[in-house]
Structure 1
């Protein structure tokens, strides 16, 4: 866990890899819960029997499920103290570069790519890579934008 105590430390860390989360297993239950919450019940995600004959030999996680895991990965990797609040400001350049079969383990790798000033705080651009254990190609790469207010 990397702990930042204020804006000066964040500004000083631009360009650094801030950390790597622990591995998280993608279970069929998690995929089914995501499907239920989003209404995306496509067979390739929720029907193991049919998916066994599909292009990946089994069910795979939704791309947006993989993307949403940035949140717990980021919460595990860093914390900013002495702030009033933080908001998710959006995403840039999201790519799902390889499938995530159920049973895979994922982790997040965070680089603090850019920090800029906004009224009352900072805008942080995180370069996030979601890695799949045992695979060279990441499952997802994205730029996540967070605004911190002090």
Structure 2
């Protein structure tokens, strides 16, 4: 695998052309959105609690895998962001798994501080009512 500071090389991912240093064997397993992204479901390593969902392109995944710091692609700002770089609420990556279809990542992190930009521990703090028939045996 290339070093974290190696020059960007390789064919760009589908979607916007952002060069990447991601291992081609890993890149070949990804199924990206039309804009070149893969959903990243982030959970607490110790408890399994789902903290947030973000987006990664090939280079964000490369940076995450090689630095141990959760790095995402901001769709609104059009740039990379390392979780905690400005907020101090860091995510130290313990493992990354790819789902069976290759279109989602499960990122297990040691979360320092809140995961949500609102200051909540998790982004999933708003419960919605569910109405469903009772389960039958």
Determine if the TM-score, normalized by the shorter chain, exceeds 0.5: no
**Higher relative helix content:** 1
**Higher relative strand content:** 1
TM-score in terms of structure 2 length = 0.24
